[in-house]
A and B are shown apart, each in its own frame.
Chain A
């Protein structure tokens, strides 16, 4: 991937982060920490990795995205809007009565949403079923899943993990957003599932660990699906919770953020700074503003 292509994705990620703030502004609060930690993963999926068509969201050959950690929905809404599944103005309805962008995603309310998640520990089984159905149809489509690290304490995930391995499901790629924090504190203190790599491997998965904010790494690994023949693939993505907001990064109390006006101003300044540095990078590559 060339530098310009990469930078382009970073600009898109910035737009996604701005859309997340727009959602929070509309709804006054939301699950921001895990949405921001997974921006690069979701951006890479919707703007590089996945074959999809916003004008035909139910295209049978499309790649699927299952947001198992449904509370990260702000990043999904932001990415779908930016990708053109629906008008950006829909984001301004977050928190309103009957909004198509509820606090957890609803496939019946919004084009591009594949599953109704929110209760944790459901997405991997559903994704496994999708992958089996796609395989029966001899379709080239793949299923991408985003899970939280805190979510892994739900036992149902491990039923699904065992079954995906038993059925040799190759057309699935799970990203575990390992931001290391959940509502009550560090994931290793609340319920320790580390070392995640060994656990997934022992369930029959092919495992890789990457920097979950590094587009190069996300994309080059995703392109190698399946990592091993006859095995499902998982990427443990090390990330920073609330990535992009300097005052909130790695802080547990921003799992769910009720934004004060002062914090919102600081958040916008932080994103402006990111924009300035991206512009400088662009200039250094192209010699233009």
Chain B
């Protein structure tokens, strides 16, 4: 059994590490720092933490302005409130102005399980992906969350990163190589490629293990940077395995599956299956049960892949 770690705590510790190294890192809060694992930041750096209360649109603008003076603002809050709500501010003040601001949507996907669709964020990748120049990180374990934070701070330009809320299993050794825009092949295989991202990466890992036991050779890829997409790695997998299945806690519309389909349909068409949320509002309930409702548990992913391979 893999060790479980709190993604928000991991994120917050990584931001403090980055802020120790880089004096330009500042944190903006929409009454959201403590819930984002950044509760210790204002005590450690009182002059580099700005509280704004619940006004996410305005915070994005303030972050943009701070970035014009060389600061590296990090703004973390509940995912839909930093993406869907202030979308125009994200697009104009960060994207269009190409500002070095790091927006982090936490409790993303369905991880705010009971709170319902206002608090789920299963459209964030779709909408932020349309903004030119924004790098999107969706790390799938605590080790890569920490590495993604440092990569994001070291990258010049607007970034969006999403993290979940329940404890998540450690999938990687501490010395795993993390490169922005480069996926990680977690397992080689030749019958089918399974591509996972973010909070459900561990489900894809478990599904790959079940498929191997059924005699299916699975290539497992972690796309921790959804944009820019690792084109070479995906096209190589398309050529070598001929089929791709994507697994994401996101609408099928516009997410990682869509990004891969946009690439493959033009460069190397292969049969694809996208596992995610359909064209409806997700329900509410215990997180693991919600994932099960939408086919995102390992056994379900395995069955979907087997059925897909028979078509």
A-chain residues with CB within 8 Å of residue B61 when the two chains form the complex: 122-126, 128-129, 156, 160
Least CB distance, B161 to chain A, in whole angstroms: 20
Nearest chain B residue, comparing its CB with the CB of A132: B66
Contact A129 B66 (CB under 8 A): yes
Q: Please report the number of residue pairs spanning A and B whose Cβ atoms sit closer than 8 angstroms.
A: 97
Chain B 68-96 interface mask (CB, 8 Å, partner A; 1/0) = 11110100000000000000110011001
**Stretch from A44-52, A111-119, A211-219 forming part of the interface with B:** A111-119
Of the candidates A106, A108, A126, A136, the one whose C-beta lies within 8 Å of that of B93 is A126
A-chain residues with CB within 8 Å of residue B47 when the two chains form the complex: 136
Of the candidates B50, B57, B62, B92, the one whose C-beta lies within 8 Å of that of A116 is B92
CA distance A107 to B92 in the complex (A): 12
Among A120-145, those with CB < 8 Å from B are 122-134, 136-137
B-chain residues with CB within 8 Å of residue A116 when the two chains form the complex: 92-93, 96-97
Among A193-239, those with CB < 8 Å from B are none
Chain B 33-68 interface mask (CB, 8 Å, partner A; 1/0) = 000000000000001101011010111111111111
B-chain residues with CB within 8 Å of residue A108 when the two chains form the complex: 98
Of the candidates B26, B57, B59, B68, the one whose C-beta lies within 8 Å of that of A130 is B68
Do A137 and B68 form a contact, CB below 8 Å, given A116-B97, A128-B62, A156-B58?
no
Nearest chain B residue, comparing its CB with the CB of A107: B97
B-chain residues with CB within 8 Å of residue A122 when the two chains form the complex: 61, 88-89, 92-93
CA distance A76 to B97 in the complex (A): 18
CA distance A137 to B297 in the complex (A): 50
Least CB distance, A137 to chain B, in whole angstroms: 6
Do A129 and B65 form a contact, CB below 8 Å, given A108-B98, A116-B92?
yes
Of the candidates B58, B63, B96, the one whose C-beta lies within 8 Å of that of A160 is B58
Contact B58 A159 (CB under 8 A): yes
CA distance A108 to B55 in the complex (A): 28
B-chain residues with CB within 8 Å of residue A166 when the two chains form the complex: 52-53
CA distance A127 to B66 in the complex (A): 9
A189 at the interface (CB under 8 A from B): no
Of the candidates A114, A136, A137, A163, the one whose C-beta lies within 8 Å of that of B58 is A163
Among A134-183, those with CB < 8 Å from B are 134, 136-137, 156, 159-160, 162-163, 166-167
Contact B93 A125 (CB under 8 A): yes
A-chain residues with CB within 8 Å of residue B88 when the two chains form the complex: 119, 122
B: residues with CB less than 8 A from A are 26, 47-48, 50, 52-53, 55, 57-71, 73, 88-89, 92-93, 96-98
17 more CB-based (< 8 A) A-B contacts, given A125-B57, A133-B68, A137-B70: A107-B97, A116-B97, A117-B92, A125-B60, A128-B58, A129-B63, A129-B65, A130-B68, A130-B69, A131-B65, A132-B62, A136-B47, A136-B69, A160-B58, A160-B61, A162-B53, A163-B62
A sample of 26 inter-chain contacts (CB < 8 A) reads A60-B69, A108-B98, A122-B88, A122-B93, A124-B61, A125-B58, A125-B60, A125-B64, A126-B64, A126-B65, A127-B65, A128-B62, A129-B61, A129-B73, A130-B66, A132-B65, A133-B66, A133-B71, A134-B69, A136-B69, A137-B70, A156-B61, A156-B89, A159-B52, A159-B55, A162-B55
Main secondary structure of the interface of A (DSSP, over half): helix
Contact B67 A129 (CB under 8 A): yes
Interface pairs A-B: 5 shortest CB-CB: A129-B65, A125-B61, A133-B69, A159-B58, A129-B62
CA distance A115 to B62 in the complex (A): 12
B-chain residues with CB within 8 Å of residue A132 when the two chains form the complex: 50, 62, 65-66
Least CB distance, A60 to chain B, in whole angstroms: 8
Least CB distance, A166 to chain B, in whole angstroms: 8
CA distance A123 to B68 in the complex (A): 13
Of the candidates A64, A106, A159, the one whose C-beta lies within 8 Å of that of B57 is A159
CA distance A67 to B264 in the complex (A): 43
Nearest chain B residue, comparing its CB with the CB of A121: B57
Nearest chain A residue, comparing its CB with the CB of B69: A133
Contact A133 B96 (CB under 8 A): no
Interface centre among B48, B57, B60, B62 (most CB of A within 10 A): B62
CA distance A253 to B50 in the complex (A): 43
A-chain residues with CB within 8 Å of residue B57 when the two chains form the complex: 125, 156, 159
Nearest chain A residue, comparing its CB with the CB of B71: A133
A-chain residues with CB within 8 Å of residue B50 when the two chains form the complex: 132, 167
Contact A130 B96 (CB under 8 A): no
CA distance A196 to B118 in the complex (A): 34
Nearest chain A residue, comparing its CB with the CB of B51: A166
Contact B64 A129 (CB under 8 A): yes
Contact A133 B65 (CB under 8 A): yes
Chain A 232-255 interface mask (CB, 8 Å, partner B; 1/0) = 000000000000000000000000
Contact B96 A136 (CB under 8 A): no
Least CB distance, A136 to chain B, in whole angstroms: 7
Chain A 36-76 interface mask (CB, 8 Å, partner B; 1/0) = 00000000000000000000000010001000000000000
CA distance A159 to B59 in the complex (A): 9
CA distance A159 to B47 in the complex (A): 21
CA distance A265 to B181 in the complex (A): 57
Nearest chain B residue, comparing its CB with the CB of A160: B58
A-chain residues with CB within 8 Å of residue B65 when the two chains form the complex: 125-133
Least CB distance, A288 to chain B, in whole angstroms: 45
Contact A119 B92 (CB under 8 A): yes
B-chain residues with CB within 8 Å of residue A136 when the two chains form the complex: 26, 47-48, 69, 71
A-chain residues with CB within 8 Å of residue B60 when the two chains form the complex: 125
Least CB distance, B102 to chain A, in whole angstroms: 14
